[in-house]
Amino acid sequence: MHRVKVRVVEDALDANNTIARANRDDFDRHGVTVVNLMSAPGAGKTALLERALHELPGVRAGVLEGDVQGSYDADRLASLHVPVTQINTDPGFGGECHLDANMVRSAVPALPLEELDLLVIENVGNLVCPAEFRVGEDARIMVSSVTEGEDKPLKYPLMFRTCELVLVNKVDLLPHLDFDLERFLRNLDAVHPGVPHMLVSARTGEGVEAWRDWLAALPARREERVGFR
Amino acid sequence: MHRVKVRVVEDALDANNTIARANRDDFDRHGVTVVNLMSAPGAGKTALLERALHELPGVRAGVLEGDVQGSYDADRLASLHVPVTQINTDPGFGGECHLDANMVRSAVPALPLEELDLLVIENVGNLVCPAEFRVGEDARIMVSSVTEGEDKPLKYPLMFRTCELVLVNKVDLLPHLDFDLERFLRNLDAVHPGVPHMLVSARTGEGVEAWRDWLAALPARREERVGFR
């Protein structure tokens, strides 16, 4: 019974990877660099995007918003005057807890790829399943809020292990928390040795310039580096 | 294709409900009241449990811990001297993002049901799928941290709609956040009119007495009320 389940899951992930590669081909053909932005609910993905996409230097950016229901984040981003496309994962039952390659595939015709250098896909807020499903991205960025505690890398290792950058958000709250930053960074290093991280606050703007620069440089890095993926 | 998927999901939920009823029968036979405790990662489920189970008046409590990996929360609860049983959801692939009835069923033989009045099942940190899977509980409690923002009831409506109590945690941080409590409560009321809520802080202890009393009274309420479930 258990082995059958594992087999079914592996087949589903195989199918997902095939569709993810088709997405990649479409993105490549248009020269669009794609970021998969992931976090727990309320960690600050949208707020950090608002900060970064406001005056992102020399890069034409767009956003694909993934939510179970509604378009609250897309509405927030509307003032930035970048193209925003919404996917909802709820048709049929209580809602998917992640984006998969096929959901992104269904949105590709609605994306103005020829007008973009960079597409940020904001995933559903969840630290488990989004990490299991590639959607055709070049890079994965995850946001971990200091309010969530130091143990999160140990409890959700796949998510922390498969990302290229960790944004440690809400550092303005550190004086009001018992959060041990050194311990968090040790836990992060234990599951993903050497992964870069940035301390940021979407609220105060601390660290936002470095995050914006990292994002703005991504399309050029993708062109330059062999084996970037 | 989509209809086939919906059908498969519905069949899976049917199977889950059948097993959940078997769990309920076992819990009923032993007179154990069962709570399903849910939240996003890092919202404070374990910290609030530590607070409540420390000197829970007149009730013999136990905990079933659900995590993707590790036993960090179970280790934290060990000092409370209540029986704690661990379920990990990771065998086979990246990890299930929720507990289902069958996982709880597999833990039932390890639970000292004859010694318990109350069993708290701490679910995997996730605002989507845990709400879709009944595990045999009498009541659902969800924890929503004020650091997560006011929009969470609108973005994860099933979770907020299917619980009997909402613990609004980390209220000690309110002076340091832009969180609009009235707006959060309006959003909560929009998706689940009349659901009780408590403002609490696991850090300072604010509101913890009311939460502990609610939990301690649950087994008696279950006995008294017809149609409690």
Average pLDDT, chain A: 92
pLDDT at B2: 52
pLDDT at B1: 40
Q: Residue A42's closest chain B neighbor by CA?
A: B148
> B154 CB near a chain A CB, below 8 Å?
yes
Give the percent of chain A with pLDDT over 70. Answer: 93
Specify the amino acid at residue B121. Answer: I
Looking at beta carbons, which residues of chain B come within 8 Å of A153? none
Mean pLDDT of the region B17-30: 96
Q: Give B91's pLDDT tier (boundaries 50, 70, 90).
A: low
Mutate to test the interface with B, among A127, A150, A170, A204 (most CBs of B within 10 A): A127
Question: In what helix (H) or strand (E) does residue B222 lie, and over which residues does it extend?
Answer: helix B208-224
> A180 CB near a chain B CB, below 8 Å?
no
Looking at beta carbons, which residues of chain A come within 8 Å of B99? none
Mutate to test the interface with B, among A72, A156, A169 (most CBs of B within 10 A): A156
Q: Is the predicted pLDDT of residue A226 greater than 80, yes or no?
A: no
Mean pLDDT of the region A83-92: 84
- So what's the ipTM on this one? 0.90
pLDDT (tens digit per residue) in B204-225: 999 999 999 999 999 998 777 5
pLDDT at B199: 98
Give the percent of chain B with pLDDT over 90. Answer: 81
Question: Where does residue A16 rank: exposed (0-12), middle (13-18), buried (19+ CB within 10 A)?
Answer: middle
Higher-scoring residue by pLDDT: B50, B2: B50
